[in-house]
Every structure is written in C-alpha cells, then in structure tokens.
Amino acid sequence: MQVHVSNDAATSVATGALVVPVFAGGAVDGVAAEVDRVLGGAIADVLSGGEIAGKPNETSLIHAKDTPFKRVLVIGLGERDKLKPSAIAKYAGTAVRYLGKRGVKEIALALPDGLDATLAASFAAEGAVAAIIDTTLYRTEADKPVVTTGVTILNGSYDASAVESGAKRGSVIGEAVNAARTMALTPANDMTPTHLANRAKELAADAGLEFDVLDEARMLQLGMGSLLGVSRGSDEPATLSVMTYKGDPSSSETLAIVGKGLTFDSGGISIKPAENMHEMKYDMSGGAGVIGAMWAIGKLRPKVNVIGLVPSSENLPGHRAMKPGDVLKAMNGKTIEVINTDAEGRLILADALCYAKQLGATKIIDTATLTGACVVALGHAASGTMSNDDAFVERFLKIVADSGERYWRLPLYPDYEQQIKSDIADLKNTGGRAGGAETAGAFLKAFVGDTPWIHLDIAGTAYLDAESPFMAKGPTGTPVRAFVHIVEDLAKNGAPTNGVAKSAATAAV
C-alpha cells in the first residue's frame, strides 16, 4: 500500500472515498462540519437519526453526488476529551477494511483536530497499512479481499512537514507489524527454524543490519544445552538469529530485544490436547516481533545500539526428545530440571538471554507467548510485564502507554523463585499452576544477572480469535510497536539507569 500526504481540502479532494471523523455527543464539527455542508446535512442526519452515535469505530457510508469524492465514510472516534493519538490507527484501519472490502482502491483520510501532527499521521499510516493483511494467505480465491492500494492523509490544519514525517514513520511501523504477522500466519511446514532465520536474514539485509545465525554446532560449543534440549525431539535443527543495529557506535549502551521463536509447539512428551493445537504455529510470535521491530529500527535509524536475538526450534515428541526428569545445563552453567516439556519457551530463551549478555547488552527486553497463566490473569486485553529494575520498567510502561499495545506489570516476589527451586538441579522449569506467569518470569530472571531486564508475556495478545473493524483475526504484531517506541525514546533521552535499581516487586516482604 502507498501512503501519501496532501494539502487538498477535504471538500475538494478527488478520491474513491473520503473518510471523516465524528465524536460521541451528536455535534458535527471540525472537518466533518465542512464536509457536511457540501453534503447538505447528510452527516448530521446520520447522527441525529441514531444510525451511529460516534462511538469508536462505528461506521456509516454516505454516497455523494456532484462532489469530487464518490462516497463519504463517517467513522466514530468516541468522546473528544478522551481521544488519544493511537485511536487514529484504529480509525484508519477501520476505513481501509470497510472500504477496501467494498472495492474502493483510493481513500482520502481526514484527521481530527487537536492532536500532535506527527503522531496523528504516524498512527494513521500505521493503521492503514496494517489493515490490508488477511489470514487468507493460502487461499486460491480470498473472500472479499481488501483492494485498497492507496491512502492519502489530508493535512487539514496541521503542519505539512510534520504530517509527512509522521506518515513515513507510520508506514514503516505498519509494514514491520505486517511482516511479523505474516511470519506468524505462515504454517509450521513453511516456517521452520531455518525458514525463520532466512526471513530474518532477508529483512536484516533490506534494513542494512548486520546478521549472524548460530547453528547447533556453535550452540554446542557455547554450552547452550537448554535451547538444544528443546530441539532434540525434532529433525529440524535449531537456530539462533542475531540482528545487529549500530545506531550509536560511540556509546557503550546496547539494548537487546529477545524473542521466542518456537515455530511449532506440540508440548513435546508432555503433549498438548489436540484441540486448537494448530494455533501453536503462533508460538514464534515473539521472535517474529523482534525480527519485524529490528527491520523497522534499521529503516528509522534512531541513534541507539540494538541487538535482536531470536532462538528458534520446534518442540516435538520425537525419539530423542527431552523427557520429564531430564536435567539440562544452560550457557551460564545453571542446571535445569525439566518438570514439564511443555514449559519449553523459557528454556530456549534462557540461553538467548545469556548470549545477549555475552554480546554486550546493557539492557534486555524479552518477549514470548510464554504462559497460559498470563492469559488467565489478563485475558486478551494486555500483555504481562515483569522486571528486575523499577526505573527501566516504569519508563517502558510510560513510553508504550499509547503505542497501540497494552502492558500491565506483574510482580516478581522472592516467593516465585522458591517455587522453581529444584531438589536435584539449580532450577526446575515450572513451579506449578499457582502464579504460573510469575514463576516463568522468575525463571528467566535467573539468566540476566544484574542487567536491567523486562519480560513481556504476550500469550494473550499475540493473536486474537475474532476480527475487529480495523484488523483481521489472527496475529496482531505485538510487540513490534512497543519495541519501536522504547528504542526511539532511548535514542532521544538516553539510558534510564546506570545500574539495577532495586525493584519493589522483587524485594522481600
């Protein structure tokens, strides 16, 4: 999709459909009022007649006569005083999906007044681009595909250069989100660890990043027994992809983003139920998010150093598969008793976290579809967030609060560390049902040492079962947006801390 910016007035733009915002409360104002005068009060009639009430993402289509635009799509934005820039992504996405499935190829999008121009345009472009993806990658004939190929963002009262800058940024983020979603949608027979590494290599080259991939021989030399233990049950070899962006070579600070790349998870010997097991192709969504985010970072060129690491394997019950009771040794020498082979994501992340430290990471954020317990705790509304550093995580939560993704902090009390102590080894890979998301976080914490670290459990947010007005069902691209937002903030404002600030969430009580 091509995203353009135009100085044309909404009332005079020639396009297949003009999109205008309205707010809850019934009043027609701003750009909607200008267009309404041309339409002879048709927008006011839609609101006063109760067809829509201006609630978020409500739509009403008006066919126009004797105007440069053929149609006007009115979309609700909710209450004006509660409007946030990220809502514009949903506004734009709703427009593209509604009109694109009705044969409209060119759309002009009017922005509401009162927002930061760059952010509003960025979210508009991001939402428009992200809206074009459907789950029908393998269908010979898709049902009602989105045919929109161009979206023009109208400057309106905003500064043209700010809108242009925002549109370029948002287009990159939207494309990165779609890259991650497409990887997650791809079935496991076409998205093996090798395929995932090859895709990371392609995107790294396109974005001007350095790239390296560790094979199992190199992993063995480095002592990555935890990652290799998971891959033993599959004929597909494990990989560890490393994408490196040196945006500030003079700085000693480096952020590592680490994503779980489990391309299929059967549960291994502790096999999952058959129902919905096909969704376990999505278990590499964290890794896909890292790859997509690294591509975006390479395109946006912020002044900060970032390394993306994606450990990848399959988890299958093959004849060499790890078994409950086995003991694995991670790269940092810690031994792990395998209690449940379906708690494998933390095992492949453990070695990747160690390797991130070896590569010089001074801050680490990992992400994974890690625990069903996090879905029970937070549903599909937010991702769980845990950390060993208050300053780092509080800054992260503030920066990503209006990124279009939700995050909620969960504690890491010492109690959870007690739950994962093994009688025979240093750790066990599950602490039981109670506090399952937090014990998984406590397990990962054992592999980062004193490095400021954040863990994102995206099990409930990486993919959704229902279509929304602005996005197809399936993968969401979480946490690409959050990664880009925090990286840009680190580039602008520097490191949040010079060491680990003792976390209230990990302090003894």
Helix-strand-coil percent breakdown of the chain, rounded to 5?
A: 35, 20, 45
320 is catalytic: no
Q: At what angle do helices 160-185 and 117-130 cross, to 10 degrees?
A: 30
- A 10 A CB-CB count for 142 gives 12
Cα(297)–Cα(301) distance, rounded to whole angstroms?
A: 6
> Taking the mean position of all CA atoms in its chain, how far away is CA 331?
28
Cα(231)–Cα(211) distance, rounded to whole angstroms?
A: 22
Helices (H), 305-460: 345-358, 372-378, 390-399, 414-419, 436-445
- Cβ atoms of 30 and 112 within 8 Å: the answer is yes
- Cβ atoms of 101 and 470 within 8 Å: the answer is no
Give the CA count within 13 Å in the CB-facing half-sphere of 171: 16
Per the rule left: phi > 0, alpha: psi between -120 and 50, beta: everything else, 40 is: left
SS (H, E, C) 315-340: ECCCCCCCCCCCEEECCCCCEEECCC
- A 10 A CB-CB count for 114 gives 11
- Degrees, nearest 5: CA angle 296-297-299: 65
With 0-12 CB in 10 A as exposed, 13-18 as middle and 19+ as buried, what is 279?
Answer: middle
DSSP class of residue 15?
B
Active-site choice (101, 102, 201, 272): 272
Segment holding 220, helix H or strand E: helix 216-222
Longest Cα separation, the chain: 80
- Cβ atoms of 31 and 9 within 8 Å: the answer is no
346 is catalytic: yes
Active-site choice (346, 357, 363, 481): 346
Beta-bridge partners for 387: 454
29 three-state secondary structure? coil
Segment holding 231, helix H or strand E: helix 225-231
Q: At what angle do helices 160-185 and 193-207 cross, to 10 degrees?
A: 160
- Degrees, nearest 5: CA angle 378-381-382: 65
Active-site residue set: 272, 346
